[in-house]
Structure 1
Amino acid sequence: MGFPKQLPAARVPLSSRGYIDRMDAGLTAVRGAQEIISMISSRRFVTKLILGHNELADDGCVVLFKFLTSSVGRKYHIAEISLNGNSIGNRGLMAVVEYLQRNRVLKELFLQNNKFTGDAETFAAFTTALNTSHLELLSLTTNRSLSDPFVEVFFSLLDSPRLREVHLSAISFTPQAAPHLIAYISSPRCRLHTLKCNGNSIGFRAIKSIIRAIERHNFSLLTVELYANHAVGAASSDNTSEDDEDDESGGPASLDAWKASEAQIRRVLLRNAHLKRETEKEAIQLLRYARPLLLAGSAHIPSTRCTDCSCVELSGPLDAVAVADYAPSKGFVFRAFPTELQLYIMSFLAPTLSPAQRIRIYTYASSSETLPRAGLCLPGFPGRTSSNLCVLDPASMPFGMSSGGCAGGKCAGTGNSVLCHKDQQRGEWLAAVDCAVYDPHREGEIM
């Protein structure tokens, strides 16, 4: 009787080899943290730590983040950390603060359902560290002991240029703290596109004030969730509104009133989404025309040889041709106009943009240092990196076609890609010139 044929080992996708997923693994305190550290140290790279539903508590959290903050731990570029349901208190959170300080790698931090309290000093330190980091998503949902003191400190100090998504559902948020949220979303400090505050006790009048603030002052928010926020007391007890005459003066709000507010916030968010699309479209269009009209002569074009990759260098004549398309003809009368008139004429190509946004694009377009490099990083050459390739959508590929990057160096496009490198670069440029969000500051424009 022969032995059964051994099946080949399952193939592990390269993208998931950097994940450490120990959710609900019975990890406790210092011993659990040491186990996680051993797993991290045994790998060449780690991009995600999924550690939810364990019992690391403060002691384990301090040990884990002391390692991550060390010179050895910093070598691991961890983009996502999930520590939900780990009984972590304020002492453990202070260890997270040290790791978060000036962190340029961590993008997503999940801290749901722990034991944090709204201690002002602790969350002042946390928010200050957050402002120096590149964190994009923060979740503090179901930390019910945070309450109003946390909301007051957090939104009063929050000024993170990278933060895009905040989850604060079920944290015992009441109408008393709503003015601090309203002040934040009404200010230029707010760059969020997603805010979730479900399952609190904010109350109807405070909800109306929040919606009114978004409608009047905020154009970045695209998703706002304020479900299940019935106040315990009467609507008239909410102390939040700048236009109290619009609100009911007695008793809880009716179901129809809640539905009307929900419809209103949907309309406001659709407006924001439309203005964002128009702003981004016009910014790219303006750059397309401003580049050849404003760029100085090719005599000042710097070397376009790649310095950070081994790519194929183009010959001298081709380098000149590559930039000649951007240089306007000497006989083009537009160049003879005063600069102010040139810029005013081009402003009609992007009427949605504010003057400040257009000036940033003009400055970018007129600088030869921002020209694309003329070297060719061809497929198959050492200079070609994965960051230059699209991640193809398997559902869009013909049967039998292997998944990979862009075929023949040609971008696959947004429709056929899970991740399009051109879209990525376009988004980075829009953020760099601050044209990813509609800017309402249009005072002084000539109409």
Structure 2
Amino acid sequence: MATAFDPFRRTKPGVKPASVPLSSRVYIDRMDAGLTSVQGAQEIISMISSRRIVTKLILGHNELSDDGCIVLFKFLGSAVGRKYQIAEISLNSNSIGNRGLLAISEYLRGNKCLKELFLQNNRFTAEAATFASFTTALNTSHLELLSLTTNRSLSDSFVEVFLPILDSPHLREVHLSAIGLTPKAAPYLIAYLSSPQCRLHTLKCNGNALGFRAVKSIIRTIERHNFSLSTVELYSNYSVGPASSDNTSEEDDDEGTVDAWKASDAHIRRVLLRNTHLKRETAKEALQLLRYARPLLLSSAGHTASTRCSDCSCVEVPAAVTSAVASEPKHTLFPFRSLPTELQLYIMSFLAPTLSPAQRIRIYDYASSPATLHRAGLCLPGFPGRMTSPGCVLDPASMQFGMPSSGGCSGGKCAGSLNSVVCHKEQQQRTEWLTAVGCAAYDPHREGEVTV
């Protein structure tokens, strides 16, 4: 019997409806949707409230303005709105001014979920009180990327307030392109980039009017004092006015020529390659030093590690097993632990010559503390209740297609442990550890006394 045609049916008879991608269920994309002021904000709030999970708000090229922005972020900062762990918000080209920025600041204060905030091409002005409040809130958040590109009304007055108080431990990327900077902003950029408060990996400052000498000074500062930056963009920074006669030198005679700018670009590329290489070596040596410092410095006396995993319901290691391991006969080895502590640490320092004394001591403190040990458990394939760890990638080479897999990580075979595919959870934990012990970047202070 033929199926009757239904004019209100979205798909043809017998055709399975198209599945909605999982990514589109957790983010709201209303770019260029004609959202206006409070009414537009209420429409967004309604969409958020109708979903259990929202991780992204893509709201660029609308007209929310200050009034809509205040309503939206008042909801996001409420008890109901805080339940949504939003990691990215894009509000570029929304005619938002300083009142809206203050509302964003309140939401940003102490926020541990938001990682990326895009505020390009709005109507912010360099009002000192507004940006002081915004920067203070930013310092307490876990924001990693901030974009203020093409807010042309900010100018030099903005960096004069923003950079001296910027001290966010989590901020890694800042976009300040086309915001009207001139050579007057260079001293503030130089002071920030050469300070320990700068933990950036990426700085984009294109399309301003810094001028050749200011750009050259910034590059020189990065070369001498900054080892964390791996991406810097300073394109299209030609000075729009006559160069100042102060502090002129023979090396500035070629200012503005194509060859001079090309040489400057080649110089910053070499500096960034150096930073990338030193960062990689620092991370590698830090992990290597931990691997050897842990068994050498960790005292087993009075310490009993937990035998149950924190993320599964696997069985505990039987007492007979642990006692057998403890009673294993000891071989005659060099009595390393009988040496003075200073000599032990000096010997281990040769495992990580790139690290500074301060970095090595932080690793020694971490390695010698029983509180930093992970919980151990007997997680074998086939035990019920053992599930794949969140964020852990299964190793494709270990998967038996067509057969049910038992045990975690495809029967205990994790991509990270086999070094075939990067395990995201392991990679994240490694990055967090490197940051915690101050080894996320090269430390040039390799000489001098270190206070323990």
Instruction: Give the TM-score of the pair, scaled to structure 1.
Output: 0.90
CA distance in 1, matches of 2:136, 2:322: 47
Equivalent of 1:113 in 121, 129, 135: 121
CA deviation string 1:205-244 (max 9, x = no partner): 000000000000000000000001100123445x7x7xx5
Counterparts of 1:339-354 in structure 2, within 5 Å, are: 339-354=341-356
Q: CA deviation at 1:330?
A: 8.2
Task: Give the number of the structure whose alpha-carbon radius of gyration is greater.
Answer: 2
Instruction: Give the TM-score of the pair, scaled to structure 2.
Output: 0.89
Distance 1:135 1:323, change over 3 A: farther
Find the residue that maps to 1:17 and give its secondary structure: helix
Partner of 2:259: 256
Q: Give the total of aligned pairs.
A: 437
Partner of 1:245: 249
Find the residue that maps to 2:433 and give its secondary structure: helix
Q: CA deviation at 1:313?
A: 2.4
Equivalent of 1:443 in 427, 447, 450: 447
Equivalent of 2:201 in 190, 193, 207: 193
CA distance in 2, matches of 1:69, 1:198: 33
CA distance in 2, matches of 1:142, 1:276: 31
Q: CA deviation at 1:272?
A: 0.2
CA deviation string 1:105-143 (max 9, x = no partner): 110000011111111110011011000100000000011
Partner of 1:336: 338
Partner of 1:286: 289
Q: Is the 8 A contact 1:412 1:420 kept in 2?
A: no
Q: Is the 8 A contact 1:138 1:166 kept in 2?
A: yes
CA deviation string 1:150-203 (max 9, x = no partner): 011111110000000000111011111111011000000000000000111010
Q: CA deviation at 1:248?
A: 1.2
Partner of 2:358: 356
Partner of 1:147: 155
Distance 1:246 1:215, change over 3 A: farther
Counterparts of 1:266-415 in structure 2, within 5 Å, are: 266-297=269-300, 299-307=302-310, 309-319=312-322, 332-376=334-378, 382=385, 384=387, 386-390=389-393, 406-413=409-416
Find the residue that maps to 2:232 and give its secondary structure: strand
Q: Is the 8 A contact 1:204 1:235 kept in 2?
A: no
Equivalent of 1:423 in 401, 421, 427: 427
CA distance in 2, matches of 1:106, 1:323: 47
Partner of 2:9: none
Aligned residue identity for 1:354:
S
Q: CA deviation at 1:298?
A: 5.3
Partner of 2:8: none
Q: What runs of 5+ residues in structure 1 fail to find an aligned partner?
A: none
Q: Is the 8 A contact 1:185 1:213 kept in 2?
A: yes
Partner of 2:38: 30
Aligned residue identity for 1:369:
A
Partner of 1:66: 74
Equivalent of 1:7 in 15, 33, 54: 15
CA deviation string 1:314-365 (max 9, x = no partner): 222445678999x997854101100000000000000000001000111111
Distance 1:329 1:286, change over 3 A: farther
CA distance in 2, matches of 1:119, 1:373: 51
Q: CA deviation at 1:95?
A: 0.2
Q: CA deviation at 1:420?
A: 2.6
CA distance in 1, matches of 2:422, 2:311: 27
Find the residue that maps to 2:152 and give its secondary structure: coil
1:46 aligns with 2:61: no
Distance 1:323 1:162, change over 3 A: farther
CA deviation string 1:388-410 (max 9, x = no partner): 412789xx9999899x9943232
CA distance in 2, matches of 1:174, 1:117: 16
Partner of 1:82: 90
